[in-house]
């Protein structure tokens, strides 16, 4: 009996040590891996950051909604004390900048231009209009977001509809994607756009943009600008009368339907690779930036980072190609930015510069504007790395080995499935809700992936996967973000 008592007490001791250990080991937070550093801006200036690029010599150029360009030095390091120079002023709401061969290329509301400091005094003095083959009509919604150069040297521009819902004769090509070539041609490249919030490339040079919830857009989405592709809003289709580059005007979709149904009738329909569920993920997705830093930003090489204006966040997006179409999953990444995030840009050292504004549309970050930087601390967060669809389920990979027992327990997972009405009216409630069942979860031996067999997947719908039960191998840590939103437009055959 005595012996037993000793055993028991030692067990209690071990347990209490383990508990104490757990207690002192606080759960990790985003800032342990990806802290945000605020970069001071020149005093007295209002710089609602709407474009960022990195210049030679460790300089950074930022554009503002007011139409200024500032160039900053000493923007790196833990406590940056930058020196800012006014490079250009009085431009028309610049929403995209790109440095190339001594020129700074700008997408302004009316045109793509390139500007240069030809006399070396630090201020631009040459302002060349490169391409301006679209119309504007005095409406604030007539935004133009532009990319950097693609491999051909073209800049891709997405044009918001007039008033975010109209297509006036005075404003040709609203709701279209245009390419501006190095020799100044403006080429209609895609259509069906409503109200973009930003545009960017993936690592292969394919172009994506974010479109905001509204008419013919049940929820905000990340969309793939496949040349000649239709993005879902037919209001701008009237401009087929002005060009034959993309062939004849396609049939209009039917309202109060589903994208999954209508895409069968409109051949060029590109279903949104990522639906960002409105209210859950954010309200206003903006710029898109791909991690091509080769690991300097952590384990998410070639994934996309999406700025979110209303929620002052950055989302992370993994894309795969299934049956020829991009689709994939969105994950929460970092929240708590100063203002409404509009744009992000990686520097070669793995710094991610972010900028934003909350003018005109509110944001969780209450600063009227901000310029910040996200850096990876070198510690790997416990996250879902990739989420791929399989004919009968999904495969998840992890950034770190997970506890196999929790991985193989189907009660670690909960899935919901839903979509939005595809309609002429504004937005949509969540519809067609169902609950697919995770029947089986088979982890890999190393605990770095798990194969889920799911019953009840629905083609065309968002598959929201919660993983509250998964634990880090050897520790009682849950995933840093235990939710993923997979948009299932296509299901592979095998």
Partner 1 sequence: MLGLTGFQVHADKPPKGFEKIDQEIVISTMEAQMKYDVRSFSVKPNAKVKLIFKNPDTLPHNLILCTPGKKKGGDGGQEVIDAVLKLGDKGVEQNWEPTGHPRILASSGMVQPKKETVIYFRAPKKEGDYPYICTFPGHFQLMNGVMGVSKLANPITNLTYKFYHGGWSKMPDFTKMEPKKTGVLASGLFDISPRDRNDDFGFSFTGDIECPKEGKYTFTTSSDDGSLLLVDGKLVVNNDGIHGVKTVSGSVKLKAGKHLIEVRFFEKSGGEELSVAWSGPGIKKQALSKTSPKSGGGGAVGMLIEPPEGEASIYRNFINGAGPRAIGVGYHEGVNLAFDANNMRLAMIWQGDFIDGARHWNGRGQGYQPPAGDAVVNLPEGVAIAALDSSDSDWPKAEYRTKDLRFRGYFLDKMQRPTFKYERGEVSVEDTPMPIAGASEDAAGKIKRIIKLKAKDAPKNLYFRVAQGSFEKKGQSFEGDEIAISVKGGEPVAQGGDLRVPIVFKGGSAQIEVTYSWSE
- Pick the stretch among 110-118, 247-255, 346-354, 461-469 that binds partner 1 (CB under 8 A): 110-118
Separation of alpha carbons 330 and 327, rounded Å = 10
Per CB under 8 A, does 135 bind partner 1?
yes
Contact pick of 76, 127, 240, 269 for partner 1 (by CB under 8 A): 127
Per CB under 8 A, does 67 bind partner 1?
yes
User: Is-contact 190 159, C-beta < 8 A?
Assistant: no
- CA quadruple 77, 80, 81, 82: dihedral sign: positive
User: How many residues sit close enough to partner 1 to count as binding (CB under 8 A)?
Assistant: 32
Angle value at C-alpha 452, between 451 and 454, nearest 5 degrees: 150
The DSSP bridge partners found for residue 37 are 373
Per CB under 8 A, does 178 bind partner 1?
no
How much helix, strand and coil, in percent to the nearest 5, is found in the chain? 10, 40, 50
Per CB under 8 A, does 120 bind partner 1?
no
Smaller CB distance to partner 1: residue 35 or 110?
Answer: 110
- Pick the stretch among 124-132, 287-295, 323-331, 428-436 that binds partner 1 (CB under 8 A): 124-132
Place of tokens 């759960």: 27
- CA quadruple 338, 64, 426, 435: dihedral sign: negative
Smaller CB distance to partner 1: residue 139 or 260?
Answer: 139
Per CB under 8 A, does 187 bind partner 1?
no
Interacting residues of 46 by C-beta distance below 8 A, sequence separation 6+: 64, 66, 368, 369
* Beta strand ranges found along 352-448 (DSSP E): 352-357, 369-374, 384-390, 393-398, 414-420, 430-434, 437-443
- Pick the stretch among 125-133, 197-205, 408-416, 476-484 that binds partner 1 (CB under 8 A): 125-133
- Pick the stretch among 104-112, 240-248, 261-269, 477-485 that binds partner 1 (CB under 8 A): 104-112
Least distance between partner 1 and beta carbon 52 (Å): 20
- Pick the stretch among 126-134, 188-196, 381-389, 439-447 that binds partner 1 (CB under 8 A): 126-134
Per CB under 8 A, does 113 bind partner 1?
yes
Per CB under 8 A, does 41 bind partner 1?
no
Contact pick of 128, 349, 446, 476 for partner 1 (by CB under 8 A): 128
Q: Identify residues 273-332 at the interface with partner 1 (CB under 8 A).
A: none
User: Is-contact 179 155, C-beta < 8 A?
Assistant: yes
Contact pick of 19, 40, 102, 140 for partner 1 (by CB under 8 A): 140
List C-alpha distances in Å: 466 to 303, 382, 478: 21, 15, 12
Place of tokens 């509301």: 109
- Pick the stretch among 50-58, 139-147, 217-225, 233-241 that binds partner 1 (CB under 8 A): 139-147
Enter the tokens of residue 226. 């496949």
Q: Identify residues 156-175 at the interface with partner 1 (CB under 8 A).
A: 170
User: Is-contact 345 53, C-beta < 8 A?
Assistant: yes
- Pick the stretch among 227-235, 240-248, 301-309, 359-367 that binds partner 1 (CB under 8 A): 359-367
Compute the residue count for the chain: 494
Separation of alpha carbons 198 and 388, rounded Å = 25
Place of tokens 């943009």: 209
Contact pick of 238, 280, 321, 359 for partner 1 (by CB under 8 A): 359
Per CB under 8 A, does 110 bind partner 1?
yes
Separation of alpha carbons 313 and 378, rounded Å = 21
Per CB under 8 A, does 66 bind partner 1?
yes
Enter the tokens of residue 74. 């000493």
Per CB under 8 A, does 426 bind partner 1?
no
Binding interface with partner 1 (CB under 8 A): 46, 66-67, 89-93, 108, 110-111, 113, 123-129, 132, 135-142, 170, 359-361
């Amino acid at each position: 009996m005595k012996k037993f008592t000793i055993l028991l007490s030692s067990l209690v001791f071990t347990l209490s040590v383990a508990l104490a250990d757990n207690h002192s080991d606080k759960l990790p937070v985003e800032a342990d891996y990806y802290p945000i550093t605020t970069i001071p801006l020149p005093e007295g200036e209002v710089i609602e950051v709407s474009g960022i690029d990195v210049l030679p010599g460790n300089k950074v150029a930022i554009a503002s909604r007011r139409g200024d360009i500032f160039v900053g030095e000493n923007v790196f390091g833990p406590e940056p004390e930058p020196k800012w120079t006014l490079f250009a002023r009085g431009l028309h709401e610049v929403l995209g900048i790109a440095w190339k061969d001594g020129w700074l290329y700008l997408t302004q509301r009316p045109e793509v231009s390139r500007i240069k400091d030809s006399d070396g005094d630090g201020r631009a003095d040459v302002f060349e209009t490169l391409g301006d083959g679209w119309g504007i009509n005095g409406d604030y919604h007539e935004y133009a977001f532009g990319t950097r150069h693609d491999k051909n040297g073209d800049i891709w521009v997405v044009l918001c509809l007039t008033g975010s819902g109209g297509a006036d004769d005075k404003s040709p090509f609203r709701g279209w994607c245009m390419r501006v070539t190095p020799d100044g041609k403006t080429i209609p490249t895609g259509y069906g756009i409503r109200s973009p919030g930003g545009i960017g490339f993936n690592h292969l040079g394919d172009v994506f943009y974010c479109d905001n919830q509204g008419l013919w857009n049940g929820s905000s989405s990340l969309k793939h600008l496949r040349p000649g592709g239709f993005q879902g809003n037919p209001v701008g289709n009237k401009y087929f009368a002005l060009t034959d580059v993309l062939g004849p005007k396609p049939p209009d979709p039917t309202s109060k339907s589903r994208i999954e149904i209508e895409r069968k009738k409109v051949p060029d329909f590109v279903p949104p690779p990522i639906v960002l569920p409105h209210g859950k993920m954010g309200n206003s997705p903006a710029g898109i930036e791909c991690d091509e830093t080769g690991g300097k930003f952590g384990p998410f090489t070639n994934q996309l980072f999406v700025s979110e204006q209303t929620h002052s966040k950055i989302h992370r997006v993994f894309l795969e190609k299934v049956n020829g179409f991009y689709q994939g999953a969105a994950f929460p990444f970092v929240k708590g930015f100063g203002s409404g995030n509009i744009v992000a840009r990686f520097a070669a050292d793995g710094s991610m510069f972010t900028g934003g504004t909350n003018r005109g549309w509110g944001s969780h970050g209450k600063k009227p504007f901000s310029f910040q930087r996200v850096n990876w601390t070198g510690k790997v967060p416990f996250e879902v790395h990739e989420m791929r669809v399989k004919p009968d389920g999904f495969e998840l990979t992890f950034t770190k080995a997970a506890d196999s027992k929790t991985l193989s327990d189907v009660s670690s997972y909960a899935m919901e499935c839903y979509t939005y009405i595809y309609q002429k009216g504004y937005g949509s409630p969540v519809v067609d809700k169902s609950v697919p069942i995770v029947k089986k979860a088979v982890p890999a031996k190393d605990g770095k992936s798990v194969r889920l067999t799911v019953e009840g997947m629905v083609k065309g719908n968002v598959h929201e996967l919660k993983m509250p039960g998964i634990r880090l191998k050897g520790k009682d840590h849950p995933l840093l973000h235990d939710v993923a939103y997979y948009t299932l437009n296509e299901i592979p055959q095998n």
